[in-house]
Structure 1
């Protein structure tokens, strides 16, 4: 970028002439440049300072001390950061016959077998569920019931949402994992007569 040039003042011109007369040219054979000191780079202009009274005042935050509760806004308290497990299960693609699926959701199908994981730890429940599904799939059963319980609601002042019912959230994930994922055709929340939100219908594929 080329800077704009300005003309020398009288004092600058006189000073330049004195310097030029005392200096020895490096290449005397060259012709002197006419008016070589007529133009000099124009000094860079500084951005004018804004008066303090013109500087906008930042917004003031409300006073807050540890222990104070946040004001209630439009958001729902206790809302999960991700969709509820009921919505995830209900929103899964339909893989089974629609008529059979409707009957199953209405609780009109009787499960061939059931397992109650309620009260177990995650370390105990996972292998028990895997063995249960493999055993019933080998036996040719189609509909089985997995009882997880709804989980206890914990009283907490934590601002971070916490899910209740570890088993209720883990079981649908386990059913999509090896070594039983290929045996499971559909997972849906059970009808109220079979446990409602605390149990799952697991519809198995036909054994080959």
Structure 2
């Protein structure tokens, strides 16, 4: 069995791999390998803005440049929940810091949008292990409403129970302009 060379890893893949490698324990009798911390370059990682509280009204939020963030309509939500409409991509933000999660989310959504993907699943986790309700669970919906994400995101809503419930979000991306 041959191994693939790791020369084509993106910065996000390197960050994820370093998190996984640091959490692994070596087999008995084997010594551990030091894994250097990988940090995204500042010019590639968009700066995280202050979390904006999610809109409280049912009306769509007025956003600049004609972009408004809506909640998913009920028929679309139901089709995604029942598997009648495909979820074309997913990203798991478990165990990441806010800065790492923000950079990875923006990169993932940018690539998905450029690829013409319409529906993705963003897994934030419920975050109840520390007694709170989770930093990413609160922050990600607010990030999706910021000006940085508005050109990419059309709408978002909590996922169905079989896709993670309140620990995940369905995100509808905007259509690519021809």
Shorter-chain TM-score: which interval? Answer: 0.5 to 0.7
Match of 2:155 in 1: 186
Runs of 4+ with deviation above 2 angstroms: 88-102, 104-110, 152-155
Deviations 1:41-93 (A, max 9, x none): xxxxxxxxxxxxxxxxxxxxxxxxxxxxxxxxxxxxxxxxxxx97xx689564
Query: How far 1:205 moved relative to its partner?
Result: 1.1
What is the Cα deviation at residue 137 of structure 1? 0.4
Q: Report if the CA contact (8 A) 1:149-1:165 is conserved.
A: yes
**Per chain length, whose mean CA-contact separation is higher, i.e. which structure has more relative contact order (CA < 8 Å, sep 6+)?**
2
Q: Are 2:89 and 2:120, in contact at CA under 8 Å, matched by a contact in 1?
A: yes
Are the aligned partners of 1:107 and 1:194 in contact in 2 as well (CA < 8 Å)? Answer: no
TM-score normalised by L of structure 2: 0.56
**Deviation for aligned residue 1:168:** 0.4
Partner of 2:98: 122
Tell me the SS of whatever aligns to 1:99.
Answer: helix
1:101 CA displacement: 3.8
Q: CA deviation at 1:199?
A: 0.4
How many residues align? The count is: 116
- 1:153-172 equivalences under 5 Å are 153-154=129-130, 163-172=132-141
Alignment of 1:42-191 (within 5 A): 91=58, 93=60, 94=70, 99-154=75-130, 163-191=132-160
For 1:163-206, what per-residue CA distance to the aligned partner results, in whole angstroms no more than 9, with x for missing partners? Answer: 52000000011111132212211111011121111100001110
* 1:113–1:92 Cα change, 3 Å: farther
Calculate the aligned-residue CA RMSD, in Å: 2.8
Structure 1 or 2, whichever has the larger Rg, is 1
Using the TM superposition, give the Cα deviation of residue 121 of structure 1 relative to its aligned residue in structure 2, in angstroms: 0.6
Q: Which residue of 2 aligns with 1:199?
A: 168
CA distance in 2, matches of 1:167, 1:104: 22
Q: Could you list the runs of 5+ residues in structure 1 that have no partner in the other structure? A: 1-83, 156-162
Secondary structure, counterpart of 1:201 in structure 2: strand
Q: Unaligned 5+ residue runs, structure 2?
A: 1-52, 61-69
